[in-house]
């Protein structure tokens, strides 16, 4: 079962990817984790990626694709995997398709967690974080016991720059320009499935398991 998770930043695709991985016993693979693991282990691909990251540059599509393809050939991914955060662009998707063809493999499902922009802005602007211990909250869905104070260490909670409405709107604009075309790409491949991401986590997950089969 080879799955790609699609959806705008803040749509909850990462959370669903973890739940899928847990239920079906397959690895949850995010590009961030792959970069960190390869850099930590000093692999050739990791060293190449680090030269770009150290300069604040995006890792090129081809190198990112190589890292992902290397990861999905590891023993724990033989039964399948769930990709989160890759591919982000059409060139990355084409690169992945070509690499999988060479391995006589293919993506089984591309699951789009669909949430309107307005909901995402509201959802993310309600997030609060503790900069001291890293705990995260949401003023509506997971509020701290005392308003503006971390339950764990008592430090003040903040709205991170990443979660401010203007920042979220910019990220959504980039998503629509770069990543939205993947919806059409995977529709064309006959593997796209869309779930309503505005419902609660368990309801969204139930929709996904109905697609994948219990």
For residue 167, being part of any structural domain is answered with no
Q: How far apart are CA 195 and CA 113, in angstroms?
A: 5
Give the DSSP H or E segment for 200. none
Q: Which two tokens stand for residue 186?
A: 């995977």
**Domain of 108?**
2-116+179-212
Active site residue 160: yes
Per residue in 49-102, pLDDT tens? 889 888 877 788 889 999 999 999 999 999 999 999 899 889 999 999 999 999
What's the pTM value of the predicted model, to 2 decimals? 0.82
For residue 154, being part of any structural domain is answered with no
Q: How far apart are CA 54 and CA 49, in angstroms?
A: 9
CA distances from 100 to 63, 71, 94 (A): 15, 12, 10
User: Phi/psi at 78 (nearest 5 deg)?
Assistant: -65, -35
Domains held by the chain: number? 1
Annotated catalytic residue: which of 18, 48, 50, 160?
A: 160
Annotated catalytic residue: which of 18, 50, 164, 171?
A: 171
pLDDT band at 9 (very low <50, low <70, confident <90, very high): confident
**Mean per-residue pLDDT over the chain, rounded:** 92
Annotated catalytic residue: which of 2, 88, 123, 128?
A: 88
For residue 33, being part of any structural domain is answered with yes
Annotated catalytic residue: which of 2, 13, 71, 123?
A: 13
Active site residue 13: yes
Active site residue 127: yes
**What is the DSSP secondary-structure string of 103-167?**
TT----EEEEEE--HHHHHHHHHTEEEETTT--EEETTTB--SSTTB-TTT-PBEE--GGGSHHH
214 pLDDT more than 80: no
Kindly state the average pLDDT of the residues 99-114.
95
Active site residue 128: no
187 pLDDT more than 90: yes
CATH number of the domain enclosing 190: 3.40.50.300
Are the CB atoms for 103 and 205 separated by under 8 Å? no
């Amino acid at each position: 079962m080879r799955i790609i998770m699609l959806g705008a930043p803040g749509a909850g695709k990462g959370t669903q990817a973890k739940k899928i991985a847990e239920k079906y016993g397959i690895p949850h693979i995010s590009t961030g984790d792959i970069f960190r693991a390869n850099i930590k282990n000093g692999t050739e691909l990791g060293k190449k990626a680090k030269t770009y990251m150290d300069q604040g540059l995006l890792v090129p599509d081809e190198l990112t694709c190589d890292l992902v393809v290397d990861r999905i050939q590891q023993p724990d991914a033989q039964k399948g995997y769930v990709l989160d955060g890759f591919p982000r662009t059409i060139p990355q998707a084409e690169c992945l398709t070509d690499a999988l063809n060479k391995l006589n493999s293919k993506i089984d499902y591309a699951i789009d967690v669909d949430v309107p922009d307005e909901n995402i802005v509201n959802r993310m602007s309600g997030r609060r974080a503790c900069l001291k211990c890293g705990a995260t909250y949401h003023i509506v869905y997971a509020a701290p016991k005392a308003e503006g104070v971390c339950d764990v260490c008592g430090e003040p909670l903040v709205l991170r720059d990443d979660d401010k409405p203007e920042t979220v709107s910019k990220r959504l604009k980039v998503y629509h320009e770069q990543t939205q075309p993947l919806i059409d790409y995977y529709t064309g491949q006959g593997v796209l499935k869309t779930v309503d991401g505005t419902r609660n986590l368990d309801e969204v997950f139930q929709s996904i398991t109905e697609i994948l089969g219990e």
